[in-house]
Amino acid sequence: MHVTSEQRLDDGVLEREFTLGEIPGILWTPASAPAPLILLGPPPLGLRKAYPRLATRARHSAAHGFASATIELPGCGDRPRLPGAEQALADLRRAMEAGEPVTDEIIDALILPLVDNAVPEWQAALDALLSLPDIGGPVGYSGGVISIGTRLAVVEPRISAAVLFAGSFVPRAMFEEARRVTIPLHVLLQWDDEGNDRQAALDLFDAFGSTEKALHANMGGHTGVPQYAGEAAGKFLTRHLK
């Protein structure tokens, strides 16, 4: 892990850009150290586009004593595209424009390589982050592509609790993985999310094996999570990580 730039923000939060091999990332730490860590899973937009929303969430978390970190997803931003991703995206667009159902084949081709590639990278990032003196346990996950969060919750025992955002396509295979999740979960669902399959989100919530899981559904589109819903998610993480 190599820090490429750092700046102290006006609220005292230290923001560090880093690279982990070829993967760019950002770490935000509060003045109080060592701090428990929240892994901020980005949406698959590229970190540059997602930065304003990620930084806002990180600074709110820092105000509650949490460090936050994110890394660029495989195939996003300036990272090389994943094999088959362009074709899967083109197939998705064609199906949606034609008003046809998005098939399991398209969803698998779009999401599974992303999950398979991303999860080991997040685990490597966690190794590096936990070796820093200003990061302490425990670790939470809060993020974007729900299948990545689901797989991480299954395979990564250092993650104690997760906030998941329903709203991306879910491969059928993830429903089986969801049954093996046991950590506390807080799932946010934008009820009227245009691009979201609400029933798939409800089915996935039902499938999670966790004995503590909560679904918070709110009105509005994909990026319209109300402020009070963000605060409730923050309270959930505070309850489990402090």
Q: Which stretch binds a copy of itself (CB under 8 A): 29-37, 59-67, 79-87, 210-218?
A: 210-218
Does the protein bind a copy of itself through residue 217 (CB under 8 A)? Answer: yes
Q: How far out from the chain centre does Cα 31 lie? A: 24
Does the protein bind a copy of itself through residue 179 (CB under 8 A)? Answer: no
- At 189, list the tokens: 């669902």
Does the protein bind a copy of itself through residue 238 (CB under 8 A)? Answer: no
DSSP secondary structure of 209-241:
--SSEEEEEESS-TT---HHHHHHHHHHHHHHH
Nearest distance, CB of residue 207 and a copy of itself, angstroms = 12
Are 121 and 23 spatial neighbours (Cβ–Cβ below 8 Å)?
Answer: yes
Alpha carbon distance 136, 48 (integer Å) = 27
Instruction: Between 89 and 214, name the residue whose CB sits nearer to a copy of itself.
Output: 214
**Residue 69: strand pairing partners:** 27, 39
DSSP state of 183: S
Instruction: Between 112 and 202, name the residue whose CB sits nearer to a copy of itself.
Output: 202
Instruction: Between 66 and 236, name the residue whose CB sits nearer to a copy of itself.
Output: 236
Instruction: Between 239 and 242, name the residue whose CB sits nearer to a copy of itself.
Output: 239
Tell me phi and psi for residue 202, to 5 degrees: -65, -40
Q: Which stretch binds a copy of itself (CB under 8 A): 36-44, 101-109, 140-148, 207-215?
A: 207-215
DSSP state of 182: -
Does the protein bind a copy of itself through residue 194 (CB under 8 A)? Answer: no
Are 189 and 215 spatial neighbours (Cβ–Cβ below 8 Å)?
Answer: yes
Angle at 13 between CA 6 and CA 42, to 5 degrees: 80
Nearest distance, CB of residue 242 and a copy of itself, angstroms = 14
Which residue is it, tokens 């398209």? Answer: 106
- The neighbour count for residue 213, using CB atoms within 10 Å, is 17
Does the protein bind a copy of itself through residue 232 (CB under 8 A)? Answer: yes
Of the candidate residues 124, 173, 218, 222, the single one contacting a copy of itself (CB under 8 A):
218
Does the protein bind a copy of itself through residue 204 (CB under 8 A)? Answer: no
Instruction: Between 135 and 200, name the residue whose CB sits nearer to a copy of itself.
Output: 200
Nearest distance, CB of residue 192 and a copy of itself, angstroms = 9
Instruction: Between 155 and 214, name the residue whose CB sits nearer to a copy of itself.
Output: 214
Which of 4, 11, 51 lies closest to 31 in space, CA to CA?
11
Continuous segment of H or E residues that includes residue 144: none
Does the protein bind a copy of itself through residue 90 (CB under 8 A)? Answer: no
Nearest distance, CB of residue 177 and a copy of itself, angstroms = 19
Instruction: Between 104 and 206, name the residue whose CB sits nearer to a copy of itself.
Output: 206
Are 151 and 119 spatial neighbours (Cβ–Cβ below 8 Å)?
Answer: yes
Task: Give me the residues that bind a copy of itself (CB under 8 A), please.
Answer: 191, 202, 205-206, 210-219, 226, 228-229, 232, 235-236, 239
